[in-house]
Structure 1
Amino acid sequence: MKEIISVTILLILIMDPLGNLPIFMSILKHLEPQRRKKILIREMMIALLIMLLFLFAGEKILIFLNLRAETVSVSGGIILFLIAIKMIFPTYESKKKSGNIIKREEPFLVPLAIPLVAGPSLLATLMLLSHQYPKKILYLIGSLLIAWMITVVILLLSDIFLRLFGSKGVNALERLMGLILIMLSTQMFLDGIKSWFYI
């Protein structure tokens, strides 16, 4: 149970639904509310299929590359740490992301499913998790589904969240999520170091 909770929190933090709220709304704002929901659900379903694919194939890919579990843990910690830093201290380019990505046509696959939800960092994390916990694939699937459902709910209720917290409140929550992710990534890194040196 503890594994499911910790992995679920980790995946939610990487999916970053609160950080993606303004971008999703900007991309879909020109559509009718009902159509907007249908597109959102469709894109989230596509993202889920892609994430499951990487979760199942990740172990085989890493075995093919002959990577040790310790290497996976250390590199995973570094990746997540960098993601968290970007969440806490967004660069000027990342702030411009929503402006650059907005298009008037109806989105399909890109940019909503990929890379906003099933981005490179999340797919890499799923590969690392499948390698670290090959015998707990059901736990990982459960965690992924829970994180995915929470993300779907947040995005479907985007209007309410933005009205409730405002853009500044959403940004503050994203930074808080970044702080939590830094702690999780540091723990993952230290676990890898301990295993490597048999501490």
Structure 2
Amino acid sequence: MDFFISSVITLALVMDGFGNIPLFIAALKKVAPERRKIVLLRELGIALLIMVAFLFLGKWFLQAFGVRQFSLSIAGGIILFIISVRLVFGGEEEAKTDPKEDEPFVVPLAIPLVAGPAALSMVMILSAQSPNKLVTLGVVLAASLINSVILMLSFPISTLLGKRGLVAIERLTGMILVLMSVDMVMGGIAEFIKLGNV
């Protein structure tokens, strides 16, 4: 149960729903208001399918490329650290949407804003760490639900918190992710030493 709760919280933080609110608003700005929820649900569904695919193919990926679990943990921690530093110090990205296209499809909402490198790395790490795929599937579904609720309420939340409020939440999320990334790297190093590779 502790694994489930901690994994859901970690994955939800990595998916960075609050940090993605400004980007989602920018991407959906040209979409008709009555179509926004439909487009958003479609993109969130695509992102979920991608993460589930990574969950079930993660072990095969590791075996096919000869990647061991501690390597994935260290690499995932480094990616997560880079993402979290960007959040803390405010390296904002503009949503890459073509102004001629009213409705974004797959890019940039599903990929890379929801199912980005950090989220997919985390899913693969969870897949490697947990022997029970159903528990890990539950983690992905629960974290995706949390992220979806946040993003479905993106326009009201943005109005309520304002730009400064969203930035403050993004910075706090970044700080938490810094700690988690360091823990992932140290866990990978500890596993490396335990297996007698030094």
Q: Name the structure 2 match of 1:113.
A: 110
Question: 1:102: how far off?
Answer: 5.6
Higher helix share: 1
Contact 2:43 2:105 in 1 (8 A): yes
The letter of the residue matching 1:132 is Q
Matched, 1:191 2:166: no
Q: What is the correspondence of 1:98-137 to structure 2 with a 5 Å cutoff? A: 98=95, 100-101=96-97, 103=99, 104-133=101-130, 135-137=131-133
Q: Name the structure 2 match of 1:66.
A: 66
- In 2, Cα distance between equivalents of 1:106 and 1:74: 37
Q: Name the structure 1 match of 2:36.
A: 36
User: Cα RMSD (Å) of the superposition?
Assistant: 1.7
Question: 1:193: how far off?
Answer: 1.6
| Cα deviation digits, residues 148-167 of structure 1 (max 9, x gap) | 11111111111221122111
- In 2, Cα distance between equivalents of 1:30 and 1:68: 45
Provide structure 1 residue ranges, at least 5 long, that are not aligned to the other structure: none
Q: What is the correspondence of 1:14-163 to structure 2 with a 5 Å cutoff? A: 14-91=14-91, 94-95=92-93, 97-98=94-95, 100-101=96-97, 103=99, 104-133=101-130, 135-163=131-159
Provide structure 2 residue ranges, at least 5 long, that are not aligned to the other structure: none
| Cα deviation digits, residues 53-88 of structure 1 (max 9, x gap) | 011101101011222222222222222111111111
Q: Report % sequence identity.
A: 44
